[in-house]
Copies of this chain bind each other. A is one copy, B any other.
């Protein structure tokens, strides 16, 4: 595995791969890798000849009051994991390399970035879209993998790819979960044992939502109320939102119609740790 930290070197290497007819698969990550990331890497290996994994904790997608500084990092462990996964290139640029002095050009997803996560993290998707655009222009991938856990992120990236004419296929892989259903996340390490226990309620509440939809409950308000009730059985949980949206367009849904793909998503805090989760239900 080649480790590259310079943008121009990465760009030249990607160009060389392209020229020699190799298909490039990119897995953008912030490191502290878990099974979710590894499933993306394995998916990338299936669809490409060369797998590029980027590890970059992207400051522009964190608000000043968020956890950029304390976001967990373990580059040695990550490196050895990626090595054993047969990754072609690990791309680990510095913040200065990605955001040189005077940086002032952002990619801004204007409509669907102000709802759901965007409502609670106003500049978040501007940071995400900008760094993903940069990574696409640096690694020039034929395909890029994203996790379904960040459901809104995937939709925004797909929209960006369409709007700005990137020639990259976006592949979204299913959420990986712990045994009790908690979605795998680098942030789970923040949880105290008690909070960790309680956090399993999120997936249980989403399962209930799925069951209700399958049984014919059409009112989003009724479903949201029930999901909130279940989460509130855990005293440590503070809900940011529970929402029911069209899984393709993210349009808000009041009445669930047959034949639609429904995204039930939520964010909740356990102590200082903010977790997100979601489920897609075919009605």
Residues of A within 8 A of B (CB): 7, 11, 15, 18-19, 100, 102-112, 129-130, 133-134, 137-138, 159-160, 162-167, 249
Contacts and interface: CB of A to CB of B under 8 A. Distances in A.
A94 B19 CA distance: 31
Nearest to A104: B111
A167 B137 contact: yes
A162 B100 contact: yes
Given A19-B19, A108-B108, A103 B163 contact: yes
A18 B129 CA distance: 26
Nearest to A103: B163
Nearest to A166: B137
A106 B110 contact: yes
Contact of A104 (B133, B134, B138, B163): B163
Given A106-B107, A130-B164, 5 more contacts: A11-B167, A104-B111, A105-B110, A134-B165, A137-B166
Contact of A159 (B105, B167, B249): B105
Contacts of A103: 163
Contacts of A159: 102, 104-105
B165 A138 contact: yes
Contacts of A15: 167
A166 B105 CA distance: 12
Contacts of A102: 111, 159, 249
A111 B249 CA distance: 32
A104 B100 contact: no
Contacts of A111: 102, 104
